[in-house]
Amino acid sequence: MKRNLAYALFVMLIAVASCSFTNQSAENFENDDKDKLLLDLITYVLEKGHYEPKAIDDDFSVSVFEDFISVLDPTKRYFLESDIEDFEQYKFQIDDQIKNTEITFFNVVHERLIERMEGAKAVYKEVLAQPFDYSQRETINIEYEDLTFADSEKDLKERWRKQLKYATLGTYDSKITISEKIKDSFEKGEKDAEKPMTPAEAEVSSRESTQKTLDEFFDFVDDLERKDWFVQYINTIVDEFDPHTFYFAPDDKEKFDMNMSGKFEGIGARLQKKPEGAKVVEVISGGPVWRDQRLEVGDQILKVGQAGEAPINIVGMRLDDAIKLIKGPQGTVVDLTVRKVDGSMETISLTRDVVELEESFAKSANIIKGNAKFGLINLPKFYVDFDDYSERNAATDVAKEVERLKQEGAEGLILDLRDNGGGSLKTVVEMAGLFIKDGPVVQVQSSGQVKEVYEDKDERIQWDGPLVILVNELSASASEILAAAMQDYKRAVVIGSKQTFGKGTVQNVLPLDNIVRSNEHGDLGAIKLTTQKFYRINGGSTQLEGVKSDVVVPDKYSYIDLGERDQSNPLKWDKITPADYDLWEGYIDYEQTVANSKKRIAANTQIKLIEENAKWLKSEQDEVEISLNYEDYKAEEAKDKEKLNYFKKLSEYDNKLSFRSLKYEEELFTKDSVLREKRDRWHKSLAKDVYVEEAINVLQDLKINNIKRGKLASVKG
């Protein structure tokens, strides 16, 4: 994003703070008390620089109190109710402590946590020393947020017993299943046949596996220093402002810089902390997860293992620490134990790698239906080279693909923004200009400042034909700006989920070292701060509500909590004055086209099956009372497999469309077999895509209307 009011704000912030914290740090802090300096710095920046600063009062204090305890003990297996009662003397004092740069609350809670974790080591070993009775009829509630803390150490031990039995049940089942598979070979006396385990042996072995996992987990926790826990406290405070404001400790800042450059090693997924593990909230195009296709948004990672070693249970682990286990050098293997969106358990082995940048770039395909030809451009993100904008960016790449599709005779265009998490605002404005004559594209508001209107000032229109934009719940930020602008102009029909992600805020990263002169405390890290908000040209924010599709098409995430509304403390939706713009005059019967599409959607059997699958997935996620009886476990597993087999019909769908690469790419295939394989895979996926099918139907309706009006995109060649 270009330097604007946000930049001015930071210049002012740094100028004021440089004076404040030169003397203040010397007078008010002990030389070695970096924690207090950090607390003061960060709350100062939040108060002066955040788009919508919160009052640090008693309500704020209560939120920090509850959230910090939840972060430290999400499954409620460390603290007792008596501990919480001890902590409650600080419940309404944290705001005062923050203002006075006191950290008493943190110190008390941290010391008690370390004490309780030390006690937990003896508890889990004692529990795992006794056999689990899988014939017993009992259940566990895994909605940990609704649980109260244990009243006594006896109750706490019982909680550990159930949680460990639950954690071990899947391992026990896999050992029994494997034993049954090798039983025939062993009984036939086949050479090298392995002796199958008895149920009793499987039970012992599964407990041993769980103990090894917990031993590894606590070894990892023991390596954490006090400063690591303090970062969690700082981020609990920061998180109260909004979910995208975040403090980076010095090491994490380096990793953030690496990620922003697009050159990082790992699995290529963004994760969110949940009590039951780490939830996948974004798959990065071109990364190992994207290429492997087994791990998807909504899945929860429960355990992490290194290349065949015993996995470490990450339930209850800090997200940063879980990510450290998942990431690793290129070429190494990580084993992820995953609870899928459908509730099934699976171990997925991935080879860590760098993200293939080429797969995050725009790509296009010809779509042939009968005698008609249409174009599809897939854009995974709004990329840009900030060092050299002219080198490569999403806007110029999409412009090239539009021109190529025109030359090959496209009569309508689909811009696929599904799963596009956003990126450069500058490229959005330029890209919108490809489809409209001129005019505003997005409004940006800084706190207490006059709004800025970002406009397309180039009167040239590169594509004036029928246009459809595909979105889903994972289309975020810049994607929402483009879709919203095209919707407000009535330039495109937006097809997809009920609403997009709903991220309508802008963040800037401020190194804290820039604020303190004569710093004796070493690297202070940085803070990513929400400084601005996006607004549509009609005045409404994209925050929280996202973009509501003109034609709503259900998908597997339709009933699952995703997006900004599933984040903690999101900023609210609001609106400002609209910009001055004129509606697109290229279509007639626009509303009728949308109405026709809705009728087709309502009658489509594939879409009905998709919605049925979405409702089933929601019901699976809502099942929080889990049986610890093995017979019940197997019965539920069989029922789920039957349902999964039923929904396999979804992947067998054929939309009867033909997909072909553009001529320039086909010429590359002779020298690049890997590219040919990637495009073949993509085309096979598109051939099963009912959303693309409906997009073509809409384009045909718009095309007919354009012909009536004597207006169709100019075709070259």
Q: What is the band of 11 on the pLDDT scale with cuts at 50, 70, 90?
A: low
Which pLDDT value is given to residue 572? 96
Mean pLDDT of 159-163: 96
Which pLDDT value is given to residue 485? 98
Q: Are 138 and 162 in contact (CB under 8 A)?
A: yes
Q: Report the predicted TM-score, pTM, of the whole model to 2 decimal places.
A: 0.85
Which pLDDT value is given to residue 515? 82
Neighbours of 450 (CB within 10 A): 7
d(CA 295, CA 342): 12
d(CA 298, CA 339): 9
CATH number of 359-504+541-709: 3.90.226.10
3-state secondary structure of 316: coil
Which pLDDT value is given to residue 607? 96
- How many separate helices (H) and strands (E) can be counted in the chain? 21, 22
Q: What are the tens digits of pLDDT across the range 91-149?
A: 999 999 999 999 999 999 999 999 999 999 999 999 999 999 999 999 999 999 889 99
- Highest mean pLDDT pick, 186-195, 247-256, 571-580: 571-580
Neighbours of 33 (CB within 10 A): 15
d(CA 494, CA 327): 37
Is 57's pLDDT higher than 60? yes
Between 90 and 516, residue with greater pLDDT: 90
Is 460's pLDDT higher than 50? yes
Mean pLDDT of the chain: 87
Distance of CA 87 to the CA centre of its chain: 33
Q: What are the tens digits of pLDDT across the range 172-222?
A: 998 888 887 776 665 555 555 567 789 999 999 999 999 988 998 899 889
Q: Are 277 and 315 in contact (CB under 8 A)?
A: yes
Q: What are the tens digits of pLDDT across the range 302-322?
A: 888 888 777 888 877 777 778
Domain ranges of the chain: 54-240, 265-354, 359-504+541-709
Is 482's pLDDT higher than 70? yes
Of 413, 395, 587, 402, nearest in space to 490 by CA: 587
Q: How far is CA 543 from CA 237, 440, 565, 692, in A?
A: 22, 19, 9, 27
Q: What is the band of 575 on the pLDDT scale with cuts at 50, 70, 90?
A: very high
Q: What is the band of 398 on the pLDDT scale with cuts at 50, 70, 90?
A: very high
Give the chain's length.
717
Of 60, 30, 62, nearest in space to 46 by CA: 60
d(CA 489, CA 500): 18
Q: What is the 3-state secondary structure (H, E, C) of 57-82?
A: CHHHHHHHHHHHHHHHCCCCCCCEHH
Which pLDDT value is given to residue 700? 95
Mean pLDDT of 399-427: 95
Domain 265-354 top-level CATH class: mainly beta
| Least confident stretch, 161-175, 377-391, 475-489 | 377-391
